[in-house]
């Protein structure tokens, strides 16, 4: 994992910083909260409108990020996330569709997912030249969304699961993610390994979303050595937004990926 500052205008103030995965040469990243104009609990690069921030700073933050990345808004596939398992073909859209993942083989198309504890997953196939992005909270993970992204890449672009690589970005990690008995029961009924939800010393269950998604991806045929995880916990890391840590009054990050356009 590496932190990378994005180019900004001199008057922009604090630079935007994104996390990147190793061995992923295509445009991609996981934003931190640095480099925006939102204030208070949303400071500063809040990219989401679902938690109470004003529209003006959020839209300014989005435009600032896209400018730094070299993308126009009409090249972005962004969608209204509903904790489901729908995987869109990545057409240009600005939060019109309801879905939790998208795929594309079109160069210059930026796929975006929004998170603040849920796991962002980025998919890339260097052989078929296709990419995907998914928002995997516990509901999407339980529904096998990550495996459905791999299946859609196979159907749409001829990807082979053994060629697909996956980068799992920052999200709430197992030791910080307490869940209720009903969630644990749902994962067990779905056949997930018992070690994805284990009790702590007080008997409260902790859900390991990274382990659960690794299991889903393995079942879809993705080799374990092709799955990378940042290991960064949003709940523990102050430079990241966390819905649970901040009781809902917090911002949203973007995870993004695109096939590069020909030189």
Residue 255, pLDDT score: 98
Q: Is residue 11 very low, low, confident or very high in pLDDT (cuts 50, 70, 90)?
A: low
112-141 residue pLDDT tens:
999 999 999 999 999 999 999 999 999 999
Structural tokens at position 192: 């997930």
26-72 residue pLDDT tens:
999 999 999 999 999 999 999 999 989 999 999 999 999 999 999 99
Residue 25 has pLDDT above 70, yes or no: yes
Q: Is residue 202 very low, low, confident or very high in pLDDT (cuts 50, 70, 90)?
A: confident
Mean pLDDT of the chain: 95
73-112 residue pLDDT tens:
999 999 999 999 999 999 999 999 999 999 999 999 999 9
169-178 residue pLDDT tens:
999 999 999 9
> Mean pLDDT highest for which of 14-23, 152-161, 200-209?
152-161
- 186-202 mean pLDDT: 92
- 5-17 mean pLDDT: 76
Domains belonging to the chain, first-starting first, are 2-171+227-257 (3.60.140.10)
**How many percent of the chain have pLDDT more than 90?**
90
């Amino acid at each position: 994992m590496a932190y990378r500052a994005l180019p900004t205008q001199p008057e922009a103030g604090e630079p935007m910083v994104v996390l990147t995965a190793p061995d992923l040469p295509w445009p991609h990243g996981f934003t931190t909260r640095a480099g925006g104009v939102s204030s208070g609990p949303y400071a500063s690069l809040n990219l989401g409108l679902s938690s109470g921030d004003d529209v003006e700073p959020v839209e300014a933050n989005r435009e600032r990020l896209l400018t730094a990345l070299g993308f126009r808004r009409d090249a972005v596939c962004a969608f209204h996330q509903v904790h489901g398992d729908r995987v869109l073909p990545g057409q240009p859209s600005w939060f019109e569709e309801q879905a939790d993942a998208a795929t594309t083989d079109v160069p210059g198309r930026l796929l975006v997912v929004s998170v603040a504890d849920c796991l962002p997953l980025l998919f890339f196939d260097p052989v078929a030249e296709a990419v995907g992005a998914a928002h995997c909270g516990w509901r999407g993970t339980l529904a096998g969304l990550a495996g459905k992204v791999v299946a859609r890449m196979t159907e749409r672009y001829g990807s082979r699961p053994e060629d697909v690589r996956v980068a799992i970005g920052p999200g709430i990690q197992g030791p910080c993610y307490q869940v209720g008995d009903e969630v644990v029961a749902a994962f067990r009924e779905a056949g997930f390994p018992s070690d994805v939800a284990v009790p702590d010393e007080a008997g409260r269950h902790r859900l390991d979303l990274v382990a659960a998604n690794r299991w889903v991806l393995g079942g879809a045929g993705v080799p374990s050595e092709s799955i990378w995880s940042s290991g960064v916990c949003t709940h523990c890391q102050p430079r990241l937004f966390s819905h649970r840590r901040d009781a809902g009054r917090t911002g949203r990050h973007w995870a993004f990926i695109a096939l590069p356009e020909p030189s």
